[in-house]
Structure 1
Amino acid sequence: MRLSDFILRDLEPISEQWEAFAATLLPAAEKMESLELREHVKEILQTVAMDLRSSQTREAQHEKSMGRGAGLIDPTEETAAQKHGVLRARAGFNVNQLAAEYRALRASVLRLWMDECEPGRHGLGDVIRFNEAIDHALAESVTSFNAQIEQNRNLLLGMLGHDLRSPLQAIQVTASYLALLNAGEHVSKAAGRLIRSGARIQGLLDDLTEFNRTKLGLGINVKPTSVNLADVLADEVEELRAIHPDRQIDYDVNGDLQGDWDGPRLQQLLGNLVLNAIKYGAQDTPVRVMVTGGVTDVRINVSNRGAAIGSATLAHIFDPLMRGPDRQSDDERTGSLGLGLYIASEIAKAHHGAIETRSDDTETIFSVSLPRDQGR
């Protein structure tokens, strides 16, 4: 008996073995009913059987083995394997357990078929094509599983960032009230610590919110107004100097800096770049901010002296959660998420601009280009 005929004939016993194995994948399977454990398996097997029965050229077989083969199902419709991946993600399975289900299904079908039917000369070809079809179904399940996990994570981050703001605001207001009481040195110091810690948590929540927006495909929200960047960025530099009185931050401006931009967002961008320069640059050298207004764009350069950034790090420096290897412990101690440069890059993109980085043994420069005509 050909493998496709065997699968269609024995859908029920194969499904029972799938269910029995899935029930062992704890703790996720512990609270799932029988129908949930075996949901979609018959549809997956029917799709596999249809694939086995379809004609396939050598070229098509090679393309399929490389993961480029076209399936029999309408690509606009969600397949049973894709639905299965979503179901398992929602049920709390991990990706290893999902893969284990397909591994057990593969072994179960082939073992039952060979034990009963003793396949002849067509057996080897059926096994090859069956493995290809199972691999294709597994890939579909894993892709939809990962997409569902990503969606769950983004929703969780969004709710977390939103729900933490109210208690944090209460802490900050209370700390500010204590600081105004003049209730003694100890109370004033404690209030100051609360205010500083609250500001740090606020910064982390802001970073988390911005990161979550970008992962949901919403991007960084900008509201351009007519501003003079010389004044806007000067305010940010003064605030950074107050926060880091032990570091020299030079600020130079040239040219016309009047235009339509989101001032607070560009302050955030500059702040992230300067803080990165302070953290990774040589501690006894200044951080330099130079803003130049040209005819078609405005350029913001932030430079620092110190060790060169390695090419491997430089290639991924704007990736989210990326931190310099020599300062990871400092970031963990201070609560940094490693999102500063990523958010700076996203703010530049939201203004239809970009950030470039170059680094050598002399200095490291982050250069932001903001076009005056932003396509609006």
Structure 2
Amino acid sequence: MMGIKLLKIKLNILYFILYSTVACFYPFLTMYFQMRGIPYYKIGILYAVNSLISIIALPIWGVISDKYSGKRKVIFITMILCSILILLFLFTKSFEAILFSLIIFMTFQSPILSITDAYCYEIIEKNKGLQFGKIRLMGSLGYAIAALLLGILIKKLGIEFSFISYSILMLCTILILKTIKFKGKRTRIPIDFYDISKLIRDKKFVLIVISAMFASISMGANGNYISILIQKTGGDVSKLGIVWFVIAMSELPFLFLGNKIMKKTGVLNLYIIGILFFVIRFFLSSQCTSYNAVILVQFMQSITFPLYLLTTIEYININSTSNLKTSALTAFTALAGGLGGLLGNIGGGFILQIKDIFFLYKVLGISCIISLIVALILKKYDKDVKSL
């Protein structure tokens, strides 16, 4: 019992610091691009490349993790390289230099979170006293605190401070991971192209990917362009830190209670509820006229993202064979998150060139309506399959 308690503490600290590093990079990236004089449509291209790298890199790292190196070793390698490569952004000035740095950095950054989640799930399978939602909420707490503090510090010290903070915190994450002795195991069942093709041909997998992809179009664009919404409604970088604090902190209750709620309502039912609230959230955002209203709307993150995160991971996990769990999760993240992010980022950038941020948020709401329709089709198909 004491062993499980100590392991839980270490995982909590790991997620807290790991997501603090994420808060040092993603929330302020659009502002960094703007400070470098990058126009909106080129910002969209940068974010699209970011998503494209994830689409390519995630499945590759997933297969490497499942078949060759193991999850723990892959996490170590990618974290060490990212702690160094992030410093490239301190020296980049031109669009081309930023693009090159982003490609190199994201090749190793993109798999860290999904493979860490898969590693955590593997630990949980061996230690039934642990729950993923309660561990993952520490990530949201870390993200919230880091985003709030960085919003204040960047205003005083400059945007470059965020990249230095990322490097320091990532090194701390590596040290915490080193104390977790659980190595996991590489699959004894070989993965071949038939396994991968079978996964891609699985109708349930395809439908959850399509639904999540349209939701990710909206989530990706919102995450990258909300700073512009804050600016257009009278806020500044310190207000952006508050927004991300609210977003991350609001996730905690549902991450804590998510497993219990999921058992009572069912995985797909909870997923559909989350997507429905995404629709409402983005349409409300499109109507905001002050940054205070924007901040209030972000409290809906408490329902939207935690339900999306917990249900998609659980659905992929229970519908994947043991030798493909990491590959399935990374493939899902690449196709849903990566491709959805690619479309949302590049589309968002071009929409902002010809329209305004409020029109963009209306489009994000429509994208979530499509996600909801596909989710309802998946629910019907899943019910039909179980009845056979």
Asked which structure has the greater CA Rg, the reply is 1
More strand by share: 1
TM bin (shorter chain): under 0.3
Structure with a larger share of its residues in helix: 2
After TM superposition, the score normalised by the length of structure 1 is 0.26
